[in-house]
Amino acid sequence: MTAADRLEALLTDLLGPLPFRLRAWDGSTAGPDGTPTVVLRRRRALRRLLWQPGELGLADAYITGDLDVEGDLAEGLGTVRRALAGRGPVRPAARDLPRLLAAAARLGALGPRPAPPGGRAAVRGTLHSRGRDRAVVSHHYDLSNEFYALLLGPAMAYSCAYWTSGDESLTDAQTAKFDLVCRKLDLRPGSRLLDVGCGWGALARHAAKHYGARVTAVTLSRRQHAFASALVAEAGLADRVEVLLRDYRDLADGPYDAISCIEMGEHVGERHYPAFAGRLRGLLRPQGRLLVQQMSRGANAPGGGAFIETYIAPDMHMRPVGRTVDLLEGAGLEVRQVEAMREHYARTIDAWYDTLRERHADFTGLVGEPTVRLWQLYTAGSSLAFAEGRMGVDQILAVRPAGPAVRYAAAP
């Protein structure tokens, strides 16, 4: 009996009929034809799954190259996920464990717990304290400015683009998003804009150059701060754009005519979000506008999942968009418009994923093969989550009322 035959029998016990084909470390194959091929290059892949069943064990095996998927990773993930949908989590009965362990032993997969790959976040301290938030931001955004420049393209925007046609480029779609934000905020020459979580400063530069706004842009990432400041100077916008290395909780220089917060609110945390919304309201002038672009997720799945929380963005908190609207209204803001952009994000991430594949050698030279594989898995899985409606992203436009603050009771 080959290794692939034993693996097929073992996995069928756990999952039912397999929706993929297997290729084992000895070259043997098993499973249905015409389906994605999962390659276990080393016995260690199975050992990782025994020690850490589920999403994180699979991610570790893929990042290290112990496990691979032949062909297009995104297509393979989608096919397998759809086939397994509705089967429920893998929970072997206690009576089955001896038999499963014996099968693993015959495969030579038992042994010490394998060391995890590099790249996991190591953050400590009180949740959403200033120090911990800085460490979380540094883990993800300080990876390499050169890496992000290659991935994101000339727009250098790490957020959902806005696609208005079938043939436009990612750069054009990001520019369309900047224009959409600026129009919703009603920016005019001399408008004072605060951009919270400014990334590499793309929106700030666009608002200053094309709308005449005077922009204060803030980030917690030292590399983003240095990069954005240099681009502002290079563009001749230093008299209209100031980039600050600062926590939003330390801002006190309002009032602003407008505030943008593009995919930063997910990192605030559930307990801190009311104070966050209140701080933004306090920084706005009466009738000033706030534009929040933020990812959403079902009430029972607020985080990004084990893989994203371990490798990409620890401490994330997402919620249904209606709950975010409740929190903004509870802070005394009047919500004027909500625009769903879920499909736009799937297409944006697909563009990043395609760049990773097309420029694989360049990315590997910058950050190494394991990190490239990590990002391939991250972008492929994220695109699938948006395409299938398990995650969303929305632009929420709110206004600070002219009169006294009206505080609505947020939904429980």
**Residue 50 to residue 403: CA distance in whole angstroms:** 61
Residue at 19: amino acid letter: P
Q: Which long-range contacts (CB under 8 A, 24 or more apart) does 90-99 make?
A: 90/14, 90/15, 90/53, 90/54, 92/13, 92/14, 96/13, 99/13
What does pTM read for this prediction? 0.92
**Residue 64 to residue 61: CA distance in whole angstroms:** 5
**Residue 130 to residue 77: CA distance in whole angstroms:** 37
- Diameter of the chain measured on Cα atoms: 78
**Residue 150 to residue 315: CA distance in whole angstroms:** 27
- What number of other Cβ atoms are within 10 A of residue 150's Cβ? 16
**Residue 321 to residue 338: CA distance in whole angstroms:** 9
H-state helical runs in 16-72: 43-51, 55-64
Q: Rg of the chain's alpha carbons, rounded to an integer?
A: 23
Per-residue pLDDT of the chain (412 residues; tens, 9 = 90+): 899 999 998 888 878 889 999 999 999 999 999 999 999 999 999 999 888 888 899 999 999 999 999 989 999 998 888 887 766 656 666 777 787 788 888 998 899 999 999 999 888 899 899 999 999 988 888 888 999 999 999 989 999 999 998 889 999 999 999 999 999 999 999 999 999 999 999 999 999 999 999 999 999 999 999 999 999 999 999 999 999 999 999 999 999 999 999 999 999 999 999 999 999 999 999 999 999 999 999 877 777 788 999 999 888 899 999 999 999 999 999 999 999 999 999 999 999 999 999 999 999 999 999 999 999 999 999 999 999 999 999 999 999 999 765 555 444 3
**Residue 32 to residue 20: CA distance in whole angstroms:** 6
**Residue 67 to residue 40: CA distance in whole angstroms:** 5
Q: Tell the residue number behind the tokens 């980039």, with chain if given.
A: 243
Supply the DSSP string of 262-284, one letter for each residue. Answer: ES-GGGT-TTTHHHHHHHHHHHE
